[in-house]
Chains A and B, each alone.
Chain A
Amino acid sequence: MEFGLSDDQKMMQESIERTLERVSPLERVRKAAGREPFAADVMKALVELGVPGILIEEEFGGLGLSLLDAVLAAEALGRHVAPVPFVASSVMAPLALAGAGSDKQKKAYLPKLASGEIIAGVAISEQAAGAREKAGITAKGGRLTGKTLFVLDFAGADVFIVADRFAGLHIVDAKAKGLGKIQLTTIDATRSLGELAFDTVEAEPLTSGNPAATLDRMIDAGRIMLAADTLGAGGRMIEKAVAYAKERQQFGRVIGSFQAVKHLCAEMVAELEPCRALIWYAAYAFDEFPEQSRRMAAHAKAHTSEVGTFVARTATEVHGGMGFTDLLGLHYWFKRIGFDRQALGGPEKVRHDAAVAQGWVGN
C-alpha cells in the first residue's frame, strides 16, 4: 500500500517544473497570450521532456506512462500558466486513437503527436457539457455536417478529433474542404478555444475498439487534467499570496502578521491540499479501477473547481489592489482556473454525472 508518488514521478515533475520556470516565465506567457496560437518554443522544450507523448505507447514514440504521470505534467503546466496545448492534444486525442483508432491510424498519428510534429484539437463539448445553440455533428457516408463549439487546443491544430451526436469519433484534417474554423476569444488567453463548422466534410471514422467507451474515457481523463491544472494554478496563487503577505507592509507591520490575512492563507491551503489526494486517486482509479473512473473524475473536477474558485479570488484579495492589476499578472492564474472550471462541464453538470454513475438518478 503506497498512496504517493514514486521517486521517478517526483523527478519527472521537478524537471518539467524547472524547464517551465526557464522557458515560460510570466513575460513569455504575457507575450504569447492571445497573440500566438501557442508558445512554440515552450512546446518544443516540453517535447524534449516527452510531455506530449506522456500517455502514448512506447512503440509509437511516447513514454507510455500512466494518467497519474499526466496529472503531474498538468499540474506543472497550471502552475506556470503555460500557453501550450495539452489537455486535448496530449491527453484526449492520444486516448481517442489508442481506444478507437485502427493500427493504421495509430501509426499515422500517435508518433507525430508524441513528437510535437502535429497538434490535435478535440471537439467533444456537446457530449461532455451538453449542446448550446443546437450544436451537434451528424455523420453520414464518411462526411460530417453541423457545428461544434468549444473545441479545445484549437489554434494551431493540424487535426481535430470530433464526436458526433451518437458518440461516434472521427478525425478530421484541419485543412479539409468545407471545414469552417472560428477562433473564440476566451477569458484565459493562455488556452485556445474554437468553433468548427462542417459542411459535408470528409472525415476518417475511429471505429476500432469501443468508440462510445473511448469517448467516456476521454471526458474522464480531460476532467482529471483540468482539475490538476487548477491544482497547479491554485497552488501557485497561494504561494504568491503568502510571499506577498510576508513582504507588503501596512500600519507598520507586514500584512501577513494580521490574522485576517493569514487565516485566508490557511483556509486556501487547507481547502486545496486534500484536492491533491482526490486528483491522485481519480487518476489512479482511471487506470486501475475503471468502474470508479466516471465518478472519481467528476468529483476531482467539480471539487477542485469549487476550491479553485475560492483560491483564485482569495489569493487575489490578499494581494489587495495590486492583485487586480494587469501589471502583476496574477489574473492569468485567476482566468486559467476560471477556464478549467467550465471546460468539459461545470461543477453542477459534472456532479450530475457522478450521481448518474452511482445510480442515484437516471441520465
Chain B
Amino acid sequence: MDLSYSPEYEAFRAEIRAFAEKHGAQAPRGGMAATMAGAREWQKLLIAHGYAARTIPKEYGGYGAEPDVLKSRIIAEEFIALGLPMGMSGQGISMLVPTLLELGSEEQKKKFIGPTLRGEIIWCQGYSEPGAGSDLASLSTRAVEDGDDFVINGQKIWTSTAAQADMIFCLVRTEADKPKHEGISYLLFSMKTPGIEVRPLVTMTGRAEFNEVFFTDVRVPKKDIVGQRGQGWYVANATLRHERGMLGDPNQAGTRLRALIELMQSEDVDGRRLMDNPVMRDRLLKLQARVHAMEYHGLRLLTASLKGEDPGVARLIVKLMGCELNHQLAGFAIDALGELGMLYSGSPHLRNGGDWQSSYMFDLGLIIGGGTAQIQKNIISERGLGMPREPKTAKA
C-alpha cells in the first residue's frame, strides 16, 4: 500500500499543469452544439499531447503511448482539478474504437478510427430493440442478402445521439435459421443511407436523450461488416465490456458529493443551515462513506489492473453500485431541498438549474440501461459467485 506517486508520475502531472497553463484558454466552453468546431480543435490538441486517444496507435490517429492506467487516471484527476474539459467521449470513441482495434479489418481501422477520434464522425449504437432489451440476442431487425448488399428492415430503440450521428454500428439478424446468438452480424453504415428514420424519444426528464431508429429497405454493402457474418454477438460483447467500464464511474459520485456538501452548508430552513439538522447530516454522512468506499474500491481495481491481476467479483459490482450511488446522491439532494425539490426546468427559485431533479430521473435510466440492475445481479452471482443460471424454460 503506497498512495504516493513515483517521480515519473509526478513529472507527468507537472506536464499536464504546464499544458493547462499554456493552452487552457483555448479550451471550449459552453454548449456542445455551439462549439463543435472548438471541441474538435481541442480534441486535436489533446491527442497531440497524449491526453486523449492516448493508447490508440499513431497509424490510426491516436497518440500511440503504451497503456498506463495510472497516467490515464492522472489525466482525469488533473483535468477535473484544473477545470479543463476532457477529450471527446461518446459511443464511437469509447465503444466502437476499442472494438475495431480488437476485431476490425485493417481497412476499417484506417478508415474509421482516426476521424472518429477527431470528432469528424459521430456514431450511434444500434443494439436494443423494442423486443430485445435485457435479452439483446433475441433482436429481430433483419438483414437479407441481395447481391453485394444487405437490405435491412426493423427498428432500434434507446439510440442516444442518433439525431446527430453520421454513422451507426448496428446489430442485425443475418442468419434467420441459426440459434439466436449465432445469427447476428455487426454492421457499420451511414445514418444518411436512404430508408432510415430517426424519431426522438422523450424520457421522464422531459428531454429526448434517446431516439428510435426505423429501417425500411436500408441497403448496406456486405463488406461493411465487423468480424465474420453470424459472429456479431461476440463482436458486440467486446463492446459491451467497454460500456460497463464507463458506467458507474466513482469520479462523478465524488463531484456530486462535494456539491451536496456545499448545498447542505449554503441552504437554510427557518434560518437554520441544513447541515445543522442532525437527521439530514446523518444521511449525508452515510452517503459520504459510500462515496469513499467506491472511490477506494476504484483504486483497488486500478492497482489490480496495473499488476495484471483479475479482481474477480470486485470488478463486477461497479456498474450496479456506482449507478445506484449516483441516484441516491441526487435523491438525497432533492430531500435536502425539500419543497424546492419539487421545482423544475426554469422555475423561479430553482436551484442548480434543476440538475439534481434531472439527475435523479436520468440516473434511474442509467440503472436500467447498459444491463439492468437485475441483469447485473445475475452477472455478479453467476460469474462472480459461481451460482447456477436460471434453468431455461421450454419454448411455448
Contacts and interface: CB of A to CB of B under 8 A. Distances in A.
A278 interface: yes
B94 interface: no
B293 A351 contact: no
A273 to B, nearest CB: 5
Q: Which secondary structure characterizes the binding site on chain B?
A: helix
Contact of B381 (A1, A262, A273, A351): A262
B380 A270 contact: yes
Interface string B378-392: 101110111111110
B296 interface: yes
Interface size class for chain B? Answer: 35 or more
Interface in A56-94: 68
B165 interface: no
B348 to A, nearest CB: 30
Nearest to A245: B387
A274 interface: yes
Interface in A265-300: 265-267, 269-271, 273-278, 280-281, 284, 288, 296, 299-300
Interface string B96-137: 000000000000000000000000000000000000000000
Nearest to B2: A2
A2 B1 contact: yes
B395 interface: no
Interface string B287-310: 011101110110110111011000
Interface in B342-391: 374, 376-378, 380-382, 384-391
Interface string A247-265: 0000001101101001101
B176 interface: no
B380 A266 contact: yes
A254 B1 contact: no
Contacts of A280: 1, 296, 300
B304 A4 contact: yes
A253 B390 CA distance: 10
B289 A278 contact: yes
Given A267-B377, A280-B1, A302 B285 contact: yes
A262 B377 contact: yes
B285 A4 contact: no
A79 B228 CA distance: 49
Interface in A320-363: 348, 351-352, 354-355, 360-361
Contacts of A284: 1, 3
B372 to A, nearest CB: 12
Interface residues of A, number: 46
A273 B297 contact: yes
B317 interface: yes
Nearest to A306: B286
B303 A278 contact: no
Contacts of B381: 256, 262-263, 265-266
B19 interface: no
A242 B281 CA distance: 36
A246 interface: yes
Interface of A: 1-6, 68, 242, 245-246, 253-254, 256-257, 259, 262-263, 265-267, 269-271, 273-278, 280-281, 284, 288, 296, 299-300, 302-303, 306, 348, 351-352, 354-355, 360-361
Given A253-B391, A354-B288, 16 more contacts: A1-B6, A3-B1, A6-B1, A245-B387, A254-B388, A262-B377, A265-B387, A270-B380, A271-B321, A274-B317, A277-B293, A278-B289, A284-B3, A354-B285, A361-B275, A361-B276
9 contacts: A2-B2, A4-B304, A254-B388, A263-B374, A274-B297, A276-B314, A278-B289, A281-B292, A284-B1
The 6 closest A-B pairs by CB, nearest first: A277-B296, A303-B289, A274-B293, A3-B299, A262-B381, A266-B377
Interface of B: 1-6, 9, 70, 275-276, 278, 281-282, 285-286, 288-290, 292-294, 296-297, 299-300, 302-304, 306-307, 313-314, 317, 320-321, 374, 376-378, 380-382, 384-391
